[in-house]
Amino acid sequence: MAASAEDQGGGGRYGEDVFRPEQEGEDERIDYGALAYDEITMARLRALGAGPGWRCLDVGAGTGTVSRRLLEEAGVDSVLAVDRDVRFLARRPVPGLEVQESDITAPGFVTGRFRLVHARFVLMHLPERERVVANLAELVAPGGVLVLSDAVDLTNERTPDTPYTEVMRAMWLGLRAGIGTDVSWVPSCPQLLRGAGLVRAAAELYVPPLTPGSPISRFWADTWERSREAMLATGTVDDDTIDAALLYLDSDECAALSAGMLTAWGWKPGPAE
């Protein structure tokens, strides 16, 4: 019998076994991701209508770059930013930003309804993602939108082996075994949203160019360092392989396609309130 999503992973959790917020530089790692993706995220959120009058919920908000940009650039009325650890969110308060420390897998972690519910690079790390998506869909007000962004691995069996692909494979494998991270479902995200009762579901994909020194390149380098133990535990790579991949990533030899960001959205039926 196939294991259910909730059975996957070694029982570890994001932020406890890897990507611990108290580990120096974790905020910088999240911000490298933000530098690579924020413009794309904000363009999509604006295109979906985020602006004055909108009450928004940003879950797993990290350092809060999207939450703040929604307020400061898109002009939404308010953002409730939720994370299991709010040390980075609390550092720079802005008018309209409310911060809440909660585990979003807990039932009823927040009450109320929001015109926008947003989660970026969060569900991929949660083994109980189907249940969490159903709960997030419940939090969307009629006429509102749920927007989910997660990573998509664009390699397949024909992708030539490079130090990059070798270590990325070990990273996905190690994170899956350790904390239940899974990106295999991400291309089906529009169907997941439809299954949660949302309509007019759609998605788009963005792949940042993997050039030496770019934010995405630095993001992967830092992510590999922080998941080194999980990668080694797979037995598919050793320290030398990881070190070679780090050098490759920062060199003119690098010729690889980064994992992309798939952004999917779906609307709650009914007129906007």
Ligand X SMILES: C[S@@+](CC[C@H](N)C(=O)[O-])C[C@H]1O[C@@H](n2cnc3c(N)ncnc32)[C@H](O)[C@@H]1O
Taking the alpha carbons of 7, 10, 13, 19 in that order, is the dihedral positive or negative? negative
Of residues 163 and 193, the one with the C-beta less far from ligand X? 193
Q: Give the separation between CA 50 and CA 59, rounded to whole angstroms.
A: 16
Contact between 260 and ligand X by CB under 6 A: the answer reads: no
- Interface residue with ligand X, options 12, 121, 195, 250 (CB under 6 A): 121
Tokens 């002009």 correspond to 75
The DSSP symbol for 109 reads: S
Of residues 83 and 153, the one with the C-beta less far from ligand X? 83
Amino acid letter, residue 225: E
Contact between 36 and ligand X by CB under 6 A: the answer reads: no
- 272 with 116: CB under 8 angstroms? no
- Interface residue with ligand X, options 55, 68, 69, 125 (CB under 6 A): 125
Amino acid letter, residue 118: H
- Interface residue with ligand X, options 85, 130, 138, 250 (CB under 6 A): 85
Instruction: Please state the closest distance from residue 219 (CB atom) to ligand X, in A.
Output: 10
Contact between 80 and ligand X by CB under 6 A: the answer reads: no
- CA 2, distance to chain mean position in Å, is 26
Q: Residue 263's CB: how many other CB atoms inside 10 A? A: 24
The DSSP symbol for 73 reads: I
Radius of gyration of the chain (CA): 18
Of residues 85 and 130, the one with the C-beta less far from ligand X? 85
Given the rule CB under 6 A, which of 44-52, 103-111, 140-148, 158-166 is the region that contacts ligand X? Answer: 103-111
- Interface residue with ligand X, options 9, 18, 32, 34 (CB under 6 A): 34
The contact set with ligand X (CB under 6 A) reads 14-15, 30, 33-34, 60-62, 65, 83-85, 103-105, 120-122, 125-126
